[in-house]
Amino acid sequence: MKLKKLVFTTVMACALAAFQPTANADLVGFLKKAFGPPPIQLDAAPTPEKSVTVDSFKQLKNCKKVVVTAFNVQFITKKDAGSHAGGAGEGAAHVNSHIKLTGLTNETFQAITDQVYTNFTKGLQSLGVEVMPYSEYAALPEYVDMKSHFKTSPMQVSGGMFSGQPSELFSPTGMPVVLFGDELALSKGNSMTAYIGMSAPFTKEAVIAKKTGVAAVHVYLVVDFCQMEANGGTYSFSAKVTTKPQISISKVSRCSFFFDDSMYNGGREFVKMKNNAFGADEYVSEFTDVTTSGQKAGDVAVNVIGILGGTGDTYSNTYYEAAANPALYQAACVKYLTAVQDLMLAGIKEKTSK
């Protein structure tokens, strides 16, 4: 793997050195399209232009009032990752790493959600709009028709994009969990339920927005606690999984506005993250390998050299626990979730000021 990386770097360096400025610009553009935008470093003062993708939001100029009808924060607390080296059944090496976040309670997750929600509603005012209290929205007659489709916070998520491990979804105190089917880190079952049930909230909110002139705002944020990088492959001589506790806000996080009952022509507009956003603040008080002798078949990194002639594969499982300091975790989550929200709102403001 090191040799492959070295060759790639060398070839790219030689190619770049040989190109003229115009060709260099073309190559840079090609690489951006091929590999996508870089990860967002939240402690490095990222700009909205490089951090978020924003729809036109042309209807915001005529909007004087909004109401946050859905504010969902999903906390990832368990993850798995695996890799292999060599071909299956030919003496391949398989590595699996498992990690769980410990030391936190629902009270901590709820406190984070409540504070971030408060910060967001204050930030909305920077767009020049008034924020309707949720209690006023809940008093509307149409609200009754939607209640049967709401979920209670916290909502258990059975799987999803984060290695299929369970997680929890929180809404602010006094608000339900409202799903619209575009929450990408939920399991297929949760998403299907949302699609089936969205006929009420999805359509009713749009009708309310058009009737009252009050735009409905949906926020969906996903907090990851750990980065896992798997290296290996069929033609590799080693398999490795690197596990690093670190707060990040997933690129599936988004914010949407319903201005009227049209799904097109600006009726529903999004602001989305261009990539995952990472924070540098540490929050783990202890990081422990809790693998038992019955679980562990070897180290987390396995070298396939020496077993290539065999007929049976080898397997390694390592289990970790990351014990969080609740105060540090809460502070980091509030800091970085608010930073992401601020980037979204700043992106909308920049778009509408042009």
Within-domain flag for 163: no
* Per-residue pLDDT at 344 exceeds 90: yes
Number of CB atoms found within 10 A of residue 322's CB = 23
Helix (H, G, I), strand (E, B) or coil at 45: coil
- Angular region, 244: left φ>0, alpha ψ -120 to 50, beta rest: beta
As given in the structure block, the two tokens for residue 58 are: 């042309």
Domain that residue 125 falls in: 46-132+212-353
In which band, very low, low, confident or very high, does the pLDDT at 354 lie, cut at 50, 70 and 90? confident
Within-domain flag for 108: yes
pLDDT tens sequence across 140-149:
888 887 877 8
| Interatomic CA distance for residues 160 and 12, integer angstroms | 36
Work out the average pLDDT over 201-230.
85
Within-domain flag for 41: no
Count of domains observed in the chain = 1
Within-domain flag for 29: no
In which band, very low, low, confident or very high, does the pLDDT at 309 lie, cut at 50, 70 and 90? very low
Within-domain flag for 326: yes
Q: Check if the beta carbon of residue 86 is closer than 8 Å to that of residue 305.
A: no
Residues with Cβ within 8 Å of 264's Cβ and at least 6 positions away in sequence, in order, are none
Helix (H, G, I), strand (E, B) or coil at 164: coil
As given in the structure block, the two tokens for residue 184 are: 């990408």
Looking at residue 58, what is its pLDDT? 87
pTM of the model: 0.81
Within-domain flag for 1: no
CA distances from 214 to 142, 162, 202, 298 (A): 14, 35, 15, 59
Within-domain flag for 32: no
pLDDT tens sequence across 266-295:
688 899 999 999 999 999 999 888 987 544
Beta bridge partners of 162: none
Within-domain flag for 338: yes
